[in-house]
Amino acid sequence: MPVAIITGASKGLGRALARALAGRGWDLVLDARGAKALAETAEAVSAQGTRVSALPGDVTDAAHRAELVAAAWRLGGVDLLVHNASALGAEPLVRLEELPLDGLRRALEVNLVAALGLVQEALPLLRASRAGAVVAVSSDAAAEAYETWGGYGASKAALDQLVAVLAVEEPGLRVWAVDPGDMATDLYAAAVPEDREPRPEPAAVVPGFLRLLDERPASGRYGAPALLDGAR
């Protein structure tokens, strides 16, 4: 069975992706900081008959990243790495004049540095896979200038560039940055708690991600709306 590592997998998009991949027979290594929520997700996913290794921890911890890849190796390798773990930098989001520099550093560490660290750790197994792929969950804030989203958007823009260069350097892999669009997630609620407008559930955009795996288009940046249109 193919094996995927998914970070930030206890809730939201990460959990929805885990459930969808498990439904397709993937074995999974799941990461999140919250041990209780991660265990609940792992139990739900395991009920679909897949093998799951759930490792609570922080992706900024190099030892934890090594544990994730080692767990994937024990399951057979790494065919897909999904970097979904994200940090806002401030909760709720604030204008740049108020953005704590430690918060910005945290966003860069989680959204960017940890992504590269995990890729570096997993590269030998990704290269050995017949269909190795990396998915970096990006944001429209990486490409658009929204008030208060400066620190988070900058970290995601840097992630987009890192992924683009990785795609050039690793032509044997598929490397995709994906903007999932608006979703009803805890991250968004923490970012803009006063915004109560209804948003799609994360599971609604999962077919777009699955389309990437099915069709394996060229490495690059993709938006969920276009992927979903093609998936219907």
Q: How far is Cα 96 from Cα 87, in angstroms, rounded to an integer?
A: 16
Sequence-separated contacts (24+) of 98-106 with Cβ below 8 Å: 99/150, 99/151, 103/151, 104/151, 104/154, 104/155
Q: How far is Cα 91 from Cα 129, in angstroms, rounded to an integer?
A: 39
pTM given for the model: 0.96
Cβ neighbours of residue 192 under 8 Å, at least 6 residues apart? 92, 93, 148
Q: How far is Cα 23 from Cα 45, in angstroms, rounded to an integer?
A: 8
Domain boundaries, the chain: 3-230
Q: Which structure tokens are listed for 185?
A: 């997630």
> Which of the four CATH numbers 3.30.420.40, 3.40.50.720, 3.40.710.10, 3.40.720.10 does domain 3-230 have?
3.40.50.720
Are the C-beta atoms of residues 126 and 169 closer than 8 Å to each other? no
What confidence tens digit (pLDDT) does each residue in 149-175 have? 999 999 999 999 999 999 999 999 999
User: Which pLDDT tens digits describe the chain residue by residue (232 residues)?
Assistant: 999 999 999 999 999 999 999 999 999 999 999 999 999 999 999 999 999 999 999 999 999 999 999 999 999 999 999 999 999 999 999 999 999 999 999 999 999 999 999 999 999 999 999 999 999 999 999 999 999 999 999 999 999 999 999 999 999 999 999 999 989 999 999 999 999 899 999 999 999 999 999 999 999 999 987 888 865 4
Instruction: Identify whether 152 is a catalytic site residue.
Output: yes
